[in-house]
């Protein structure tokens, strides 16, 4: 079934089209939810809630970008709203050994890593750090957009992102996924700069 036929079928509340749309996009969207959640069950709940919104807001898709990108935006916003509703996100994230982590140099972020290992380490970060890191480095939102979405200051978004990168690098070193070269900062995936 073509994407256009799929969209038309979903607009007409056709269950076959809805099932096809879900089957086609849910695996990729589950990985998005998984990055924001604390467990697989939470990710699946976010996914279900997100697809309910996709189906109810189908008339809002205007063919101005990719359909998958439109679905992804709904899923990301659903995840953020769920985190806010559960009060799992706050701009007062505990600063676990922040001074120690801030010693890592900015230019140390450059090597390519295996995605699965990095994602698993990202999931270990405090929820606020993990959320900002996902939105900025992976989903491509600006710090201003993140601040608006999460109802925090733009500077809070930037500082949480910086701390998340440093903590992530430390985790990758401790788990021996990356090595810290003699005296120099370790190499880590390029997650962008603030």
pLDDT one-digit tens code per residue, 104-142 = 333 334 333 356 777 788 888 898 898 999 899 888 899
State whether CATH 1.10.10.10 applies to domain 98-174: yes
CB 189 within 8 A of CB 109: yes
Domain 3-85 carries which CATH code? Answer: 1.10.1740.10
Most confident by average pLDDT, 20-29, 75-84, 176-185: 20-29
pTM confidence score: 0.64
Residue 138's pLDDT is what? 85
Domain with CATH 1.10.10.10 in the chain: 98-174
Cα–Cα distance between 151 and 153 in angstroms, integer?
A: 7
Residue 124's pLDDT is what? 86
What residues contact 81, with CB distance under 8 A and at least 6 apart? none
Write out pLDDT tens, residues 30-66: 999 988 888 889 999 999 999 999 999 999 998 888 9
Average pLDDT of the chain, as a whole number: 80
Domain with CATH 1.10.1740.10 in the chain: 3-85
Mark 151-182 as b/e (b = at least 16 C-beta within 10 Å).
ebeeebbbbbbbbbbbbbbbbbbeeebbebee
């Amino acid at each position: 079934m073509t994407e256009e036929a799929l969209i038309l079928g979903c607009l007409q509340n056709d269950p076959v089209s809805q099932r096809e749309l879900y089957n086609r996009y849910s695996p990729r969207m589950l990985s998005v939810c998984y990055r924001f959640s604390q467990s697989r069950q939470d990710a699946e709940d976010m996914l279900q809630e997100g697809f309910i919104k996709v189906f109810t807001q189908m008339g809002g898709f205007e063919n101005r970008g990719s359909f998958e990108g439109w679905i992804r935006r709904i899923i990301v916003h659903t995840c953020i709203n769920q985190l806010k509703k559960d009060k799992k996100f706050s701009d007062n994230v505990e600063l676990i050994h922040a001074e120690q982590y801030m010693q890592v140099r900015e230019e140390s972020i450059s090597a390519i890593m295996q995605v699965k290992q990095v994602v698993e380490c990202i999931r270990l970060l405090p929820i606020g750090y993990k959320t900002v890191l996902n939105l900025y480095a992976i989903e491509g939102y600006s710090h201003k957009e993140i601040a608006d979405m999460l109802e925090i200051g733009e500077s809070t978004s930037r500082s949480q992102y910086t701390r998340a990168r440093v903590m992530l690098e430390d985790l990758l070193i401790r788990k021996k996924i990356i090595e810290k070269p003699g005296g120099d900062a370790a190499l880590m995936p390029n997650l962008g700069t603030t």
